[in-house]
A and B are shown apart, each in its own frame.
Chain A
Amino acid sequence: MDLMTFLQLGDSTFRLSTPLLLACLAGLFSERAGIFDIGLEGKMLAAAFFSGAIAFVSGSVWLGLLAGIGASLALSLVHGLASITFRGNQLISGVAINFLAAGLTVVVAQDWFGQGGRTPQLAGAARFQNITLPFTEQIGHVPFLGPVYVELISGHTFIVYLAALCVPAAWWLLFRTRFGLRLRAVGENPAAVDTAGISVVRLRFVAVGICGVLCGIAGAYLATALQAGFIKDMTAGRGFIALAALIFAKWRPWYALYACLLFGLLQAVALRFQNINLGGFVLPVQFMDALPYILTVVILAGFVGKAIPPRAGGEPYVKER
């Protein structure tokens, strides 16, 4: 393989990792606060549809992004209502949200656009455009570093850079601020947080809200940046890969970045090479598709380091009377 192939693979990895990373960080906030969220997939899907639809109707990708975040937040609110207010089963609520999004997006898309559950193609200002970073002209001639800068670092959409910035931001928010300390505490020992006079319910709702915003951006990225419009079931299991990455990263922001890059790379390789020939032994493309899930099971099994979830995760908090 020459340098260009490597660079294109890296470029594609960044593009494919971005939605995973945003969804993974979304799950990180929610699960760190003690709310399991297997509805990442559904929230992304809803955001993808509404961002695509509004971007098409208004012609503005920014309005689309807002609509996507709004849709995702609405589903987050449902999840919060079910799992925080009414102390229901968080897993079942997540399953319901996934189905709700899978069904509603197609039903509404068919009603609005009549194209068999998709939005029309987006073009121009209705999509996120690639941003060319400064100095590409000057650095482009430099051997090796030039092509790396031009092909790999420059020329992505706004959201790719935003997602990259979200990693240090999430780390700082969770591990260097009072809010972050409380948020992590509420996922480990909500009773202690409650005793300190801080509202568990409010903190958890805020965490679920952050999760909604990030999922919204991830979904909007799918429909308005990675592809040009919404198509049925376009998340294609990315919410679950993000969940897998979250476990892989053991609920830590920087590791989430590495895990998502790894899973993004797997997707990029599967996309580019289909079946991989390893000297007489052919690695089928389906194996590459399944690899993130297999790796997650291996990690979960605890043979390669133990993944310990936040202790109060999945349990509704009942205030003592």
Chain B
Amino acid sequence: MQKMPAWADVVLIPLISLLLAAILSGLVILAIGENPWEALKLMISGSVGSSYAWGYTLYYATNFIFTGLAVAIAFHSRMFNIGGEGQAMLGGLGVAYVCLFIPWPHWSLALIGATAASALFGAAWAALPAYLQARRGSHIVITTIMFNFIAAAFLNYLLVNVLKPMGAMDPATAKFPAPTHLPSLHDILGAFGIPFSKAAPANVALLVAILACVGVWLLVWRTRLGYEIRAFGHSESAAKYAGISPTRIIMLSMLISGGLAGMMAINNVMGEAERLVLNSTEGAGFIGIAVALMGRSHPLGVFLAAILFGILYQGGAELALWTNIPREMIVVIQALVILFTGALDNMVRMPLEKLFLALRRGQTATTAGE
């Protein structure tokens, strides 16, 4: 028997967890002598109050959709891909190579090429940890953490020693050529006569991210592979008995996951910076964990959670600009969201389950008494 109605599991628990995280964040803000209510108002107006603000919020959200989907698809096969950060860095490398060394005639072709390259590089970075998990039983969490550090060192080496143009000081590639410039939301919405801020970095990659959400939904719930991934995630032994190969599922789910994380690079590297810089990912790979947990590993949930975290990031930047609350406050909030929606899930769930059971018992008692 289900202890709780489905809506409570999908909506109520994340909301309560979010509320707890918000209350604690408010207390932290209070403790450093700022007004949490004013901070909240500033965050909201700074992140959704104008089309400029929306442009930044959606730009961040695009990153988080990709990394969130990456963590989510891995969760479905009960893999914890903590390596989104490294995979996204490698995705950036793929984008840089494709944009710098192939003479693209038009941005649309460049986008397709860059998307494929970023996914390929990201997937390649996930391939070895996946293989080691599948065939040698090495714990995926540890290997992907190690691969994050290896990726950082590798990119550092490439940018400092190999890809940096002659004579340049900062460790970054040359600027990508003009034909690879992606249209921003200003250009796209402008074509339909809708005014949108020109300065904001949100770009066509947002549409790719939304397509990726739909694609992941189709994959997980409408294909045979998705069914196998979910079956494997629910019970490895049952899946094996049904003739599903664990190696194949672990490999495929992690490759897809790495590919999605890598695809983030079309937004931050190709869409915004238009060159590859050191630490281009800025922790977005880790935020994917929070996003996937909040979104209950469902593409729609991931989409909404990514927007929420986009608001948090843009709002947090505004806070740092106008108040004494440093930008790192976002990291605190992010940590609390992960803590309450992920690790302390049972703290909210157990009392709620008891409550719903008690309510139901009360109902059956009254109907029996009639």
Q: Please report A residues at the B interface, Cβ cutoff 8 Å.
A: 38, 78, 81-83, 86-93, 95-100, 102-104, 106-108, 110-111, 117, 237, 240, 243-244, 247, 284, 286-287, 289-290, 293-294, 296-297, 300-302, 309
Q: How far is the CB of A98 from chain B (nearest CB, A)?
A: 8
- Interface residues on chain B, size class: 35 or more
Specify the chain A residue showing the minimal Cβ separation from B350. A86
CB <8 Å contact, A300 and B139 = yes
- A86 lies within 8 A of B347 (CB): yes
Please give 9 more A-B residue pairs, beta carbons under 8 A apart, in addition to A96-B335, A100-B339, A284-B161.
Answer: A82-B343, A96-B336, A97-B339, A103-B335, A110-B324, A243-B142, A287-B157, A294-B146, A302-B137
Asked, given contacts A103-B335, A107-B328, whether A244 binds B82 with beta carbons under 8 Å apart, the answer is no
Contact B32 A107 (CB under 8 A): yes
Cβ–Cβ contact A92 & B324, under 8 A: no
- The complex places the Cα of A300 from the Cα of B142 at a distance, in Å, of 9
Inter-chain contacts of A293 with B (CB < 8 A): 146-147, 149-150, 153
Contact at A117–B345, with CB atoms within 8 Å? no
Q: Knowing A88-B344, A110-B326, say if A103 contacts B161 (CB, 8 Å).
A: no
B154 CB–A CB distance under 8 Å: yes
Q: Are B28 and A104 in contact (CB under 8 A)?
A: yes
Against A, the Cβ 8 Å flags (1 = close, 0 = not) of B144-186 are 0111011001101100110000000000000000000000000
A selection of 28 A-B contacts at a CB cut-off of 8 Å is: A88-B344, A92-B338, A93-B344, A96-B342, A96-B343, A97-B339, A99-B286, A102-B328, A103-B329, A103-B333, A103-B334, A106-B328, A106-B331, A107-B329, A110-B328, A111-B32, A286-B157, A286-B160, A287-B157, A289-B149, A290-B154, A293-B146, A297-B146, A300-B142, A300-B143, A301-B132, A301-B136, A302-B138
Q: Which residues of A contact B237 (CB under 8 A)?
A: none
Q: Nearest CB to that of B156 among chain A residues?
A: A286
Contacts of A300 in B (CB 8 A): 132, 136, 138-139, 142-143, 146
Contacts of B245 in A (CB 8 A): none
B139 adjacent to A309 (CB under 8 Å)? yes
- In the complex the two chains form, what is the Cα distance from A97 to B338 in whole Å? 9
A140 to B272: give the CA distance in the assembly, Å.
61
**Most chain-B Cβ atoms within 10 A of its Cβ — which of A95, A106, A244?**
A95
Determine the chain B residues whose CB is within 8 A of the CB of A103 once the complex forms: 328-335
User: Chain A residues near B326 (CB, 8 Å)?
Assistant: 106-107, 110, 117
Which residues of B sit under 8 angstroms from A108, Cβ to Cβ?
A: 32
Asked if B325 is at the interface (CB within 8 A of a chain A CB), the reply is yes
B300 sits at the interface (CB 8 A): no
B323 to chain A, nearest CB (A): 11
Contact partners of B137 in chain A: CB under 8 A: 302
User: How far in angstroms is the closest Cβ of chain B from A153?
Assistant: 32
Contacts of A88 in B (CB 8 A): 342-347
Closest chain A residue to B289 by CB distance? A95
List A contacts of B141 (CB < 8 A).
Answer: 38, 91
Residue from the list B286, B338, B346 in contact with A86, Cβ < 8 A: B346
Are the C-beta atoms of A287 and B330 separated by less than 8 Å?
A: no
B266 interfacial contact with A, CB 8 Å: no
Check B343–A83 contact: CB distance below 8 A: yes
Whether B328 lies near A93 (C-beta < 8 A) is: no
B157 shortest CB reach to chain A, Å: 4
Task: Verify A82–B344 contact, CB threshold 8 A.
Answer: yes
CB distance from B325 to the nearest CB of A (A): 7
Contacts of B243 in A (CB 8 A): none
Measured between C-beta atoms, what is the minimum distance from B267 to chain A in Å?
22
Q: B33 an interface residue at 8 Å Cβ cutoff? A: yes
Which residues on A sit within 8 Å (CB–CB) of B269?
none
Chain B nearest CB, measured from A38 CB (Å): 7
Q: Are B136 and A92 in contact (CB under 8 A)?
A: no
Q: How far is the CB of B45 from chain A (nearest CB, A)?
A: 22
A99 & B334 in contact (Cβ 8 Å cutoff)? yes
> Bound complex: CA of A93 vs CA of B343, how far in Å?
5
Q: Hey, which chain A residues are within 8 Å of B161, CB to CB?
A: 284
Find residues 70-103 in chain B having any chain A CB closer than 8 Å to their own CB.
80, 82
> B293 interface residue, CB < 8 Å from A?
yes
Asked if B347 and A247 make an inter-chain contact with CB atoms under 8 angstroms apart, the answer reads no
Chain A residues positioned under 8 Å from B335 (CB to CB): 96-100, 102-104
Q: Which residues of B contact A (CB under 8 A)?
A: 28, 31-33, 80, 82, 128, 132, 136-139, 141-143, 145-147, 149-150, 153-154, 156-157, 160-161, 286, 289, 293, 324-326, 328-336, 338-339, 342-347, 350
**Once bound together, how far apart are the Cα atoms of A286 and B139, in whole Å?**
25
Q: How far is the CA of A66 from the CA of B136 in the complex (A)?
A: 42
Chain B hits for A284, CB < 8 A: 157, 161
Q: Give bound CA distance, A70 to B342, whole Å.
A: 25
**Min CB–CB distance A296 → chain B (angstroms):** 5
Which 8 residue pairs of A and B lie closest in terms of their CB atoms, listed nearest first? A103-B331, A99-B335, A93-B343, A103-B332, A290-B153, A92-B342, A100-B335, A300-B138
In contact, A89 and B342 (Cβ under 8 angstroms): yes
Let me know if B286 and A297 touch, CB within 8 A: no
A89-B142 in contact (CB<8A): no
**Nearest chain A residue, comparing its CB with the CB of B132:** A301
Contact B145 A38 (CB under 8 A): yes
Q: Which residues of A contact B31 (CB under 8 A)?
A: 111
Q: Chain B contacts of A286 at CB under 8 A? A: 153-154, 156-157, 160
Question: Which of B293, B324, B344 has the most chain A CB atoms inside 10 A of its CB?
Answer: B344
| Measured CA separation A89–B289 after assembly (Å) | 13
Which residue on B lies nearest to A316, using beta carbons?
A: B346
Which one, B136, B145, B160, contacts A240 given CB within 8 A?
A: B145
Rounded to whole angstroms, the CA-CA distance of A102 and B283 in the bound complex is 12
* In the complex, residue of chain A having the shortest beta-carbon distance to the beta carbon of B153: A290
Residues of B within 8 A of A106 (CB): 326, 328, 331
Residue pair B28, A91 in contact (C-beta under 8 Å): no
Query: Shortest CB–CB separation between residue A299 and chain B, in angstroms?
Result: 9
In the complex, residue of chain A having the shortest beta-carbon distance to the beta carbon of B347: A86
A107-B325, A107-B328 as given contacts; A296 in contact with B338, CB under 8 Å: no
Given contacts A100-B339, A309-B139, contact A87 B346 (CB under 8 A): yes
- By a CB distance below 8 angstroms, the chain B residues around A290 are 149-150, 153-154
Q: How far is the CA of A93 from the CA of B138 in the complex (A)?
A: 21
A237 to B153, CA, bound (A): 12
